[in-house]
């Protein structure tokens, strides 16, 4: 299948291993990535606080780019999918608003008509590829690996915008983990907030949030966590040394990006998947799957 | 007729140190029965010792918020048949972020105290008119969303920031603050927003959307918080990390189309932040995770000119 | 001992209005409420609050229509105040921040309601009560009025014939406290739970009616029980009159708009006639076999756009509890017990009265306002949109007068020992090991009341109700409390509330038996006509050891003489 690929800022910035891993697994999964190189940032819910119309217009541009290609728009970030879908809902349902936004967009040669399907690689795996197909592609099953999924907020909530998985009791990540031969670890914090968005404003609370969830996953016997959101990854991995200090506990929890986990099961090497870039070494996990 | 299988959190401080759970099979409930209907039937027919709050049964009084299967919900708005179509067990617990008084009854002081803290009343300036204030119809309709809050506490129960920081004003009070600040009759917008920009205020929300999801009345507290942020920036209340975070974010995206996450924290939180985080930054740079801050290390999107144009047009439009 | 000049019992709209204004004129004041004030049932009022603000309208027209709506039983001095002074009260609410819906000019938008062809009902979507209640609560916070939330009053205190406080239980701890006050204002709302089903919340148990009755206050017009024409059969929930105000139809099983029929006396206003008229018509349609499962249909399909715009709450209720999308299908509804026109007899300053010889005299220190009170602005039938106004306006007047009265008297002399009497009652309740349960008895009572004192009444049925309620009450001493703890004991509250409710039931029946005519909400099939010659007077009851005793009070007529009532 072909998708309009929207990697987002972080996968090209502080989490380059995410874009790298996605680019590696896509051909193996039969997904052709047509990258939207002209698409701007979604606003991440931050820019929206200064100028919501600006954020919607940026997103309208991205949606228009996908529409021009007549392709579904695939993200690899919970925040990106959340922001894009929120703008998309408003632009698709409210004709007057769409016209207002298009009035700005048109000078740049784009126009959005509404209705583009905005998805995430997690849901592409489940709905487009299918878990049976995915299972059939596994070369190195993640047997004996206890994996704690960490969803990130925007990929689930609010249901009125996302409506793909149950925000109270989601199963998508667990089903992918199982298809890859791994064992999902259930814990309360999996749908809670990683704390990243207030890392600057209230670092202590931010780190406590991350620390609580990592600690809980650890207590439940997880070998690693896996997340579909690079922003979560930044608080859970990049900031984990600081998080450990704040919660007063050595966490040592490897955190995988979803495409990295898929890549491991498909037999890709840790190097190809950018594991060396992690702050918390995933060596133990890699050893367990013989990678 | 349907059945409900309830697992209910029980705690009586007079007789026990620790909470426990009781299970109840509630039979002969009408098809449309809610979790509250089932609990009332428990209290009336099975176990009179169960304590809970409830009154209107139609989602206006705000008494019966509980955690149902781990998430805050209004008991009278949560149908048994939707939650447990095949008679699955429904777990009912008291709200989170609050002390339990008994069983499903929590201490709501935290809720009311925070509400008082935001000064949830409008202050008009000058003599009021003889009749009503003339205000735009659309503005009043917009304020219905925050006004729709029934103060049930569901959002406070599930607020992820409050869980870690008791100073946070939390969603309900902040949504109410927008109901005041957004009211054209309110004459002290800047004063209110100044207070709201303090520690624990509008900039401490992590935008996790839990409040939007659990609110039974579609108040979308987080959306109201974002509106407060927008208004605070408009009022020029930008001397804090939160507002700077937003301004530099917007600027960064306007420059290249892509956020430069390396510079944003330094610009928002200052060089002190950079010094404090130098260790992890160097480590990440050495691992090839973070690119060194060199010219050309933050490439633009291909249509960056168009992005800049859009930014200019809309920021210009907003200033007008 | 806790001491205030003015103690307000009840934290709904009337209580808040009373507390606020008592405070504003300088009294020390506290509100005691068995729930957090915003939980009060005022929040459930959907449709709006009346004020004749339109240029084609006037307070006199509003007053006349209120008098006519009351079937000429309303006291016209009170009605004049309600309709004339109430306008300023509505403006005050607006100035405090109520987000009334606006018209294109930015002025308050008004919708049509029952009993009038004018649009005079100010509203906030269909959450008017909630909005006014919350804005008023915010005002109380601003004024720093003390509120004892989740405190339950068990008795009023009397000293030398005057009310001087109350004993209340802190529900959280179960501890009793004496509240000493120079004046007490009862604003506890109606007693909907005496009926089953009812539109009222579970907290609406007539506590204040009974508290006042037991210290000798007269209860007036208790036979006037309003059945709202549009309630959901599943659970009795209210569907606002605003829907009909905006033009919704009522249909019978034949698909006919039966309100157009001559015999219902509403050929002009049709569905927008007064509530008593519409509820009677619906009941007749259902009784004559043109109902559907005990209901008639509310058809909103032709006003779909208005519904989507301004009636979110009822759209949601219909989907949640009837499975009906009201923009697509007609909604089955039926008349349901909704409101007490009757209550504690007060004058226009909120003062309560007691029986004295052939007449009545003020009961010093005791005040009441809102649905708990009977001033009587609603007479035999209340117009929709007048109850919120009643709470605000007469709440204010009671608050102001109580504060002034309090400033004129010395601090009452009461002893802490009164607590022991109340404590002993609770200890005795805990000691019972019998098998009756309060919810079961309440349900029996509710069904008896609905069956015999509903839309239609007659002598034999009322006597039967009297006998059966008496029999149920006889079992009250057998009611036990399962929860023996003191902390947040809702089981205990249910038993205490049940006792209050019996007083309400008995006084309703006694009053209904007394009034041998049909007027407003009180329709006697054995006396089907209104009889102004003999019955243009209020029925009032007072407590005696043998049960309620009846007396009669005059109706105040200022401008409007009784006339035939046609809509």
- From the CA of C421, how many Å to the nearest CA of chain B? 24
Query: Does CATH number 2.60.40.10 belong to domain B109-319?
Result: no
Q: Give the per-residue pLDDT at B295.
A: 86
Q: Give the per-residue pLDDT at C352.
A: 98
Helix (H) or strand (E) holding C309: helix C304-310
Q: Which residue do the tokens 């996605």 mark?
A: A22
Q: Give the per-residue pLDDT at C321.
A: 85
pLDDT over 90 (residue A223) = yes
Chain A residues with CB under 8 Å of B311 CB are 54
List the structure tokens of C3.
């001491």
Q: Which of B196, B274, B303, B305 has the most A C-beta neighbours within 10 Å, making it the best mutation to test the interface with A?
A: B303
Chain B 118-177, residues with CB within 8 Å of chain A CB atoms:
160-161, 163-165, 168
Gap between the Cα atoms of B229 and A236, Å rounded:
27
- From the CA of B153, how many Å to the nearest CA of chain C? 12
Chain C, nearest residue to B82 by Cα = C320
Q: Give the per-residue pLDDT at B316.
A: 84
pLDDT over 80 (residue A20) = yes
A49-86 b/e (C-beta count within 10 Å ≥ 16 → b): bbbbbbbbbbbbbbbbbbbeeebbbbbbbbbbbbbbbb
3-class DSSP state of C230:
strand
- From the CA of C113, how many Å to the nearest CA of chain B? 21
Q: Give the per-residue pLDDT at A51.
A: 96
The CA distances from residue A284 to A145, A288, C126, C227, in Å, are 10, 6, 60, 72
The answer to whether A208 contacts B164, with C-beta atoms less than 8 Å apart, is: yes
Chain A residues with CB under 8 Å of B306 CB are 38, 61, 108-110
**What residues form DSSP beta bridges with B48?**
none
Q: Does B150 touch chain C (CB under 8 A)?
A: yes
Q: Which of B32, B54, B56, B180 has the most C C-beta neighbours within 10 Å, making it the best mutation to test the interface with C?
A: B56
Contact by Cβ (8 Å): C140, C19: yes
The answer to whether A209 contacts B71, with C-beta atoms less than 8 Å apart, is: no
Chain A residues with CB under 8 Å of B203 CB are 198, 201
Chain C, nearest residue to B79 by Cα = C320
Q: Give the per-residue pLDDT at C7.
A: 98
The answer to whether C43 contacts B32, with C-beta atoms less than 8 Å apart, is: no
Q: Give the per-residue pLDDT at C108.
A: 97
Chain B residues with CB under 8 Å of A43 CB are 253
Q: How far does CA C300 lie from the centroid of its chain?
A: 27
pLDDT lower than 50: segments of chain C: none
Q: Give the per-residue pLDDT at C309.
A: 82
The answer to whether C36 contacts B121, with C-beta atoms less than 8 Å apart, is: no
What CATH code would you report for C233-335? Answer: 3.90.700.10
Tell me which residue in C141, C440, C487 faces B14 most closely, judged by beta carbons: C487
* Phi, psi values for residue B125, rounded to 5°: -115, 135
Tell me which residue in B58, B61, B134 faces C39 most closely, judged by beta carbons: B61
Chain C, nearest residue to B64 by Cα = C39
The answer to whether A202 contacts B204, with C-beta atoms less than 8 Å apart, is: yes
- Is position C351 annotated as part of the catalytic site? no
| Total Cβ atoms within 10 A of residue C456 | 18
Tell me which residue in A47, A157, A241 faces B246 most closely, judged by beta carbons: A47
> Nearest CA to C366 among C381, C356, C351, C376?
C351
pLDDT over 80 (residue B288) = yes
What mean pLDDT comes out for the span B167-186? Answer: 98
Q: Give the per-residue pLDDT at C177.
A: 97
DSSP letter string, B28-92 = EE-TT-BHHHHHHHIIIII-TT-------SSSSS---EEEETTEEEEGGGSBHHHH-TT--EEEE
What mean pLDDT comes out for the span B267-280? Answer: 93
Cis peptide before A24 (omega within 30 of 0): no
C252-308 confidence digits (pLDDT tens)? 999 999 999 999 999 999 999 999 999 999 999 999 999 999 999 999 999 999 888
Q: Does C490 touch chain B (CB under 8 A)?
A: yes
Contact by Cβ (8 Å): C232, C333: yes
Helix (H) or strand (E) holding C95: helix C76-96
In sequence order, the 6+-apart residues with CB closer than 8 A to the CB of C9 are C15, C31, C32, C33, C153, C166, C184, C185, C186, C187, C188, C208, C211
Chain B, nearest residue to C309 by Cα = B141
The answer to whether B206 contacts A48, with C-beta atoms less than 8 Å apart, is: no
Q: Give the per-residue pLDDT at B241.
A: 97
User: What band does A133 get if pLDDT is binned at 50, 70 and 90?
Assistant: very high
Query: Beta C49-50 vs C219-220: how paired, if at all?
Result: unpaired
Contact by Cβ (8 Å): A82, A102: no
The answer to whether A14 contacts B260, with C-beta atoms less than 8 Å apart, is: no
Chains linked to C by 3 or more Cβ pairs within 8 Å: B
Chains C and B touch (3+ CB pairs under 8 A): yes
Q: Give the per-residue pLDDT at C310.
A: 79
What mean pLDDT comes out for the span B57-71? Answer: 96
Task: Report chain B's mean pLDDT, rounded to a whole number.
Answer: 96
Gap between the Cα atoms of C278 and C255, Å rounded:
17
B201-216 confidence digits (pLDDT tens)? 999 999 999 999 999 9
Q: Give the per-residue pLDDT at B319.
A: 75
Sketch the domain layout of chain C as residue ranges.
233-335, 418-529
In sequence order, the 6+-apart residues with CB closer than 8 A to the CB of B292 are B285
Gap between the Cα atoms of C145 and C566, Å rounded:
46
- Give alpha helix (H) positions in C408-524: 418-431, 438-452, 459-474, 490-514
Q: Does C496 touch chain B (CB under 8 A)?
A: no
The CA distances from residue C231 to B275, C240, C320, in Å, are 66, 8, 14
List the structure tokens of A138.
């596994």
User: What band does A291 get if pLDDT is binned at 50, 70 and 90?
Assistant: confident
Q: Give the per-residue pLDDT at C33.
A: 98
In sequence order, the 6+-apart residues with CB closer than 8 A to the CB of B208 are A153, A157, A192, A193, A197, B160, B161, B222
Chain A, nearest residue to B286 by Cα = A277
Evaluate the CA torsion angle A105, A106, A109, A110 in order and state its sign: positive
Q: Which residue do the tokens 């005059």 mark?
A: C554
Tell me which residue in B48, B141, B150 faces C437 most closely, judged by beta carbons: B48
Chain A, nearest residue to B234 by Cα = A50
| Exposure on the CB side of residue C71, measured as CA atoms within 13 A | 27
List the structure tokens of C566.
């046609």
Sketch the domain layout of chain B as residue ranges.
2-106, 109-319
Chain B 18-77, residues with CB within 8 Å of chain C CB atoms:
30, 32, 43-45, 47-49, 51-63, 77
Fold category of B2-106 in CATH: Ubiquitin-like (UB roll) (3.10.20)
Q: Give the per-residue pLDDT at C316.
A: 87
3-class DSSP state of C5:
strand
The answer to whether B209 contacts A108, with C-beta atoms less than 8 Å apart, is: no
Chain C residues with CB under 8 Å of B130 CB are 91
Chain B residues with CB under 8 Å of C481 CB are 48
Q: Give the per-residue pLDDT at C314.
A: 87
What mean pLDDT comes out for the span A113-123? Answer: 97
What CATH code would you report for C418-529? Answer: 1.20.58.100
ipTM of the complex: 0.96
**What residues form DSSP beta bridges with A5?**
A35, A74
Helix (H) or strand (E) holding B154: helix B154-157
Chain C 320-349, residues with CB within 8 Å of chain B CB atoms:
320-323
Helix (H) or strand (E) holding C561: none
List the structure tokens of C311.
């009636």
CB pairs below 8 Å between A and B: how many?
A: 207
Chains linked to A by 3 or more Cβ pairs within 8 Å: B
Q: Which of A35, A50, A237 has the most B C-beta neighbours within 10 Å, making it the best mutation to test the interface with B?
A: A50
Gap between the Cα atoms of B238 and B193, Å rounded:
11
* Catalytic residue of the set C120, C244, C275, C468: C275
- From the CA of A136, how many Å to the nearest CA of chain B? 32
Q: Does B9 touch chain A (CB under 8 A)?
A: no
Tell me which residue in C94, C124, C483 faces B48 most closely, judged by beta carbons: C483
Q: Does B219 touch chain A (CB under 8 A)?
A: no
Q: Give the per-residue pLDDT at A256.
A: 98
C98-108 confidence digits (pLDDT tens)? 999 999 999 99
Q: Give the per-residue pLDDT at A22.
A: 98
Contact by Cβ (8 Å): C196, C444: no
Percent of chain B with pLDDT over 90: 95
């Amino acid at each position: 299948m072909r998708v309009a690929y929207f990697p987002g800022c972080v996968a090209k910035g502080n989490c380059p291993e995410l874009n790298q891993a996605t680019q590696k697994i896509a051909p193996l999964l039969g997904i052709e990535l047509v990258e939207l190189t002209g698409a701007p940032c979604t606003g991440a819910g931050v820019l929206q606080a200064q100028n919501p119309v600006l954020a919607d217009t940026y997103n309208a541009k991205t949606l228009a780019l996908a529409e021009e290609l007549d392709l579904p728009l695939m993200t690899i970030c919970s925040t990106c999918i959340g922001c894009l879908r929120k703008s998309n809902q408003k632009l698709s349902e409210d004709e007057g608003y769409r016209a207002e936004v298009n009035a700005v967009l048109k000078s740049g040669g784009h126009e959005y008509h509404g209705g583009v399907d905005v998805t995430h690689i997690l849901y592409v795996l489940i709905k487009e590829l299918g878990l049976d197909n995915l299972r059939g592609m596994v070369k190195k099953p993640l047997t004996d690996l206890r994996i704690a999924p960490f969803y990130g907020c925007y990929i689930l909530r609010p249901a009125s915008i996302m409506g793909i998985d149950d925000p109270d009791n989601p199963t998508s990540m667990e089903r992918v983990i199982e298809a890859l031969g791994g064992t999902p670890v259930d814990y309360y914090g999996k749908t809670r907030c990683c704390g990243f968005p207030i890392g600057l404003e209230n670092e202590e609370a931010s780190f406590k949030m991350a620390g609580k969830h990592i600690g809980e996953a650890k207590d439940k016997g997880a070998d690693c966590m896996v997340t579909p959101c690079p922003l979560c990854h930044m608080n859970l991995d990049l900031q984990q040394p600081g998080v450990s200090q704040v919660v007063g506990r050595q966490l040592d929890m490897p955190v995988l990006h979803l495409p990295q986990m898929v890549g491991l099961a498909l037999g890709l090497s840790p190097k190809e998947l950018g594991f060396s870039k992690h702050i918390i070494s995933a060596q133990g996990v890699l050893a367990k799957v013989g990678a | 007729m349907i059945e409900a299988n309830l697992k209910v959190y029980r705690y009586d401080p007079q007789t026990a140190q620790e909470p426990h759970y009781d299970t109840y099979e509630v039979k002969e409930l009408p098809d449309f029965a809610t979790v509250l209907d089932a609990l009332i039937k428990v209290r009336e027919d099975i176990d009179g010792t169960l304590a809970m709050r409830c009154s209107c049964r139609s989602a206006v009084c705000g008494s019966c918020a509980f955690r149902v299967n781990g998430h805050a919900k209004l008991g009278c708005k949560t149908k048994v048949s939707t939650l447990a179509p095949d008679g699955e067990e429904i777990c009912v617990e008291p709200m989170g972020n609050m002390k339990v008084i008994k069983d499903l009854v929590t201490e709501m002081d935290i809720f009311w105290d925070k509400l008082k803290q935001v000064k949830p009343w409008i202050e008009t300036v000058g003599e009021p008119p003889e009749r009503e204030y003339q205000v735009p119809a659309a503005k009043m309709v917009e304020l219905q969303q925050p006004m729709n809050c029934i103060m049930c506490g569901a959002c406070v129960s599930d607020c992820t920031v409050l869980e870690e920081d008791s100073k946070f004003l939390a969603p309900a009070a902040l949504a109410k603050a927008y109901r005041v600040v957004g009211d054209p009759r309110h004459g002290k917008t800047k004063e209110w927003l100044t207070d709201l920009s303090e520690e624990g205020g509008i900039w401490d929300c992590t935008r996790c959307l839990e409040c939007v999801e659990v609110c039974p009345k579609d108040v979308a507290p987080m959306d109201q918080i974002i509106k407060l942020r927008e208004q605070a920036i408009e009022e020029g209340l930008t001397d804090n990390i939160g507002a700077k975070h937003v301004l530099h974010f917007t600027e960064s995206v306007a420059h290249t189309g892509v956020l430069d996450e390396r510079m944003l924290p330094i610009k928002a939180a200052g060089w002190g932040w950079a010094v404090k985080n130098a260790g992890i930054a160097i480590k990440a740079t050495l691992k090839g995770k973070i690119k060194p801050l060199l010219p050309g290390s933050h490439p633009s999107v291909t249509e960056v000119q168009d992005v800049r144009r859009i930014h200019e047009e809309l920021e210009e439009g907003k200033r007008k | 001992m806790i001491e205030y000049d003015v103690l307000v019992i009840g934290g709904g709209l009337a209580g808040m209005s009373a507390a606020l204004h008592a405070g504003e004129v300088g009294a020390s004041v506290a509100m005691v409420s068995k729930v957090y004030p915003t939980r009060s049932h005022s929040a459930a009022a959907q449709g709006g609050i009346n004020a004749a603000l339109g240029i084609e309208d006037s307070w006199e027209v509003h007053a006349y229509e209120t008098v006519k709506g009351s079937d000429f039983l309303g006291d016209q001095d009170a009605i004049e105040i309600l309709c004339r002074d109430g306008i300023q009260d509505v403006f005050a609410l607006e100035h405090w921040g109520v987000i009334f819906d606006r018209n294109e000019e930015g002025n308050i938008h008004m919708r049509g309601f029952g009993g009038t062809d004018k649009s005079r009902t100010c509203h906030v979507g269909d959450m008017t009560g909630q909005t006014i209640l919350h804005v008023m609560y915010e005002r109380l916070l601003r004024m720093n009025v003390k509120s004892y939330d989740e405190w339950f009053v068990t008795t009023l205190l009397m000293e030398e014939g005057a009310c001087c406080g109350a004993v209340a239980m802190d529900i959280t701890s179960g501890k009793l406290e004496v509240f000493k006050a120079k004046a007490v204002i009862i604003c506890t709302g109606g007693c909907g739970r005496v009926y089953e089903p009812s539109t009222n919340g579970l907290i609406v148990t007539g506590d204040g009616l009974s508290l006042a009755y037991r210290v000798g206050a007269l209860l007036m017009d208790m036979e006037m029980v309003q059945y709202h024409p549009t309630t959901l059969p599943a659970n009795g929930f209210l569907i606002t009159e605003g829907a009909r105000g905006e033009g919704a139809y009522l249909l019978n099983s034949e698909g006919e708009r039966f309100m157009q029929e001559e015999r219902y006396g509403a050929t002009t206003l049709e569905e927008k006639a007064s509530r008593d008229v519409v509820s009677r018509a619906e009941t007749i349609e259902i009784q004559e076999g043109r109902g559907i499962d005990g209901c008639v249909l509310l058809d909103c399909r032709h006003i779909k756009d208005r519904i989507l715009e301004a009636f979110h709450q009822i759209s949601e209720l219909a989907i949640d509890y009837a499975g009906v999308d009201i923009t697509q299908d007609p909604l089955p509804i039926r008349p349901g017990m909704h409101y007490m026109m009757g209550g504690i007899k007060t004058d226009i300053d909120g003062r309560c009265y007691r029986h004295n010889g052939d007449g009545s005299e003020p009961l010093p220190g005791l005040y009441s306002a809102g649905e708990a009170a009977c001033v009587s602005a609603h007479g035999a039938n209340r117009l929709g949109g007048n109850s919120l106004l009643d709470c605000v306006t007469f709440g204010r007047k009671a608050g102001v007068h109580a504060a002034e009265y309090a400033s004129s008297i010395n601090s009452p002399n009461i002893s802490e020992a009164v607590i022991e009497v109340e404590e002993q009652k609770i200890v005795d309740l805990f000691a019972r090991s019998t098998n009756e349960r309060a919810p079961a008895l309440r349900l029996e009572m509710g069904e008896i009341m609905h069956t015999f004192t509903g839309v239609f009444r007659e002598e034999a049925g009322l006597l039967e109700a009297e006998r059966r309620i008496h029999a149920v009450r006889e079992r009250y001493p057998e009611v036990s409390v399962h929860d023996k703890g003191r902390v947040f004991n809702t089981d205990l509250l249910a038993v205490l509330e049940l006792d209050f409710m019996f007083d309400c039931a008995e006084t309703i029946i006694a009053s209904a038996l007394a009034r041998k005519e049909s007027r407003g909400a009180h329709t006697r099939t054995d006396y089907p006509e209104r009889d102004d010659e003999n019955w243009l007077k209020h029925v009032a009851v007072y407590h005696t050891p043998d049960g309620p005793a009846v007396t009669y009070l005059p109706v105040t007529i200022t401008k409007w003489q009784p006339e035939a009532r046609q809509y």
